[in-house]
Amino acid sequence: MTQAIGILELTSIARGMELGDVMLKSANVQLLLCRTLCPGKFLLMLGGDVGAVQQAIAAGTARAGEMLVDSPVLANIHPSVLPAISGLNVVGQRQAAGIVETRSVAACISAADRAVKAANVTRCGSIWRLVSAANATWWWRVISPMSTTPSRWPATAQARKDYWFTGQ
């Protein structure tokens, strides 16, 4: 199991490919995801032990320059977050739902991890992309029992100035 994931989001596909090579050579990490997000945006996700992931992300951010969008390292990621990224999570009975919206996929994944750890949530729904002509908005939803207090979830979004919606 991956102990930590590191995410490097960039505004250049070419720089993303270059930095993927740099990061993989800088530490003992596994490449989990390497893809374009929308025209001109690129995402790399690495996994491994916390120290190795931090070292690899540091190597990438040191060379990213002004093309860096975000670069979080998430230690002990919640087990439902990685399947949500790949769209494989099956969400059971829906009793209460929360949705967070971000302008960066790295911020979206980070907020999803914080939310499912902060509340009694068994699954994180798929991470979706809404694309307009100017930018991409990323969002996800969490599903929890009605007894869970959704009031704890907004703190995960507010820390990054993301948009939050919750409902039952």
Please state the rounded mean pLDDT for residues 145-151.
Answer: 47
Q: Over pLDDT 90: what percentage of the chain?
A: 36
CATH number for the domain running over 4-75: 3.30.70.1710
Whether 81-167 and 4-75 are alike in CATH topology: the answer is yes
Q: Give the right CATH number for 81-167 from 3.30.70.100, 3.40.190.90, 3.40.50.620, 3.30.70.1710.
A: 3.30.70.1710
User: What pLDDT score does 30 carry?
Assistant: 95
User: What pLDDT score does 77 carry?
Assistant: 82
Q: What is the DSSP string of 17-73?
A: HHHHHHHHHHSS-EEEEEEEEETTEEEEEEEE-HHHHHHHHHHHHHHHGGGEEE--E
Please state the rounded mean pLDDT for residues 90-95.
Answer: 56
**How much is the pTM?**
0.68
Q: What 3-state DSSP class applies to 117?
A: helix
- Given pLDDT bands bounded at 50, 70 and 90, which one contains residue 85? low
User: What pLDDT score does 94 carry?
Assistant: 55
Lowest mean pLDDT among 73-77, 99-103, 140-144, 162-166: 162-166
Task: Give the span between the Cα atoms of 128 and 114, in whole angstroms.
Answer: 17
Domain map (residue ranges) of the chain: 4-75, 81-167
Q: Which residue has the higher pLDDT, 92 or 117?
A: 117
Please state the rounded mean pLDDT for residues 108-132.
Answer: 62
